[in-house]
């Protein structure tokens, strides 16, 4: 009877590992990872390794899932740096349209819009160092709003596709310090 319990737990570990690999929902995967750690800790305890079991509970069931939760919650946020001078009265109507475009975009992809302003630095540095997803500015010469973001971002490609019919919006992809039109 005592050999059956570890065998059942090992089979359960294999099933959970397969579920982690093939499951699509991020938060369910986190629960499965924590469960995997608890079952592994139980197996360590049954094999007279309580120190390893305690470490597995602390790391595999507490710290790692917490890190995953933090990183997944960051994925759901779309950080926009607004560098437009909103005091220009001729831009009022277009400002409203830009806000509607951004709101529709984040709603379509189930994101949370986080708009910041007054952060100094080049567009390349901000997208690389501060994880800013999009920088909005207004080009006086072209009379267009410029949306600047990482060329590697799938969201930038989708935003470019979504705004192609807006004549007053120009999407610029930034790649390693250079802009690519």
pLDDT value for 153: 76
Report strand pairing: 77-82 vs 134-139. Answer: parallel
User: What are the tokens at 78?
Assistant: 């779309």
C-alpha–C-alpha distance, residues 179 and 181, integer Å? 7
C-alpha–C-alpha distance, residues 82 and 58, integer Å? 41
**Could you report the per-residue pLDDT of 9-49, keeping only the tens digit for each?**
999 999 999 999 999 888 899 999 999 999 999 999 999 99
C-alpha–C-alpha distance, residues 120 and 127, integer Å? 12
**pLDDT confidence band for 111 (50 / 70 / 90):** confident
Contact partners, residue 180, CB within 8 Å, separation at least 6 = 151, 172, 173, 174
Name the 3-class secondary structure at 122. coil
**Could you report the per-residue pLDDT of 41-88, keeping only the tens digit for each?**
999 999 999 999 999 999 988 999 999 888 877 677 888 888 877 666
Indicate the pTM of the whole model: 0.60
pLDDT value for 75: 72
C-alpha–C-alpha distance, residues 125 and 120, integer Å? 10
Of 14-18, 100-104, 129-133, least confident by mean pLDDT is: 129-133
């Amino acid at each position: 009877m005592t050999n059956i319990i570890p065998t059942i737990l090992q089979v359960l570990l294999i099933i959970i590992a397969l579920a982690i690999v093939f499951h699509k929902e991020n938060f369910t995967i986190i629960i499965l990872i924590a469960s995997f750690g608890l079952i592994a800790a139980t197996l360590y305890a049954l094999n007279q390794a309580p120190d390893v079991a305690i470490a597995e509970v602390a790391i595999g069931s507490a710290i790692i899932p917490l890190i995953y939760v933090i990183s997944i919650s960051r994925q759901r946020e779309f950080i926009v740096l607004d560098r437009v001078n909103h005091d220009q009265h001729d831009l009022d109507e277009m400002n409203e349209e830009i806000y509607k475009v951004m709101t529709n975009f984040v709603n379509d992809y189930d994101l949370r819009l986080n708009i910041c302003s007054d952060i100094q630095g080049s567009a390349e540095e901000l997208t690389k160092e501060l994880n800013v997803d999009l920088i909005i500015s207004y080009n006086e010469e072209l009379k267009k709003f410029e949306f600047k973001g990482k060329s590697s971002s799938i969201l930038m490609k989708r935003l470019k596709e979504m705004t192609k019919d807006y004549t007053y919006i120009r999407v610029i992809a930034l790649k390693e310090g250079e802009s690519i039109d």
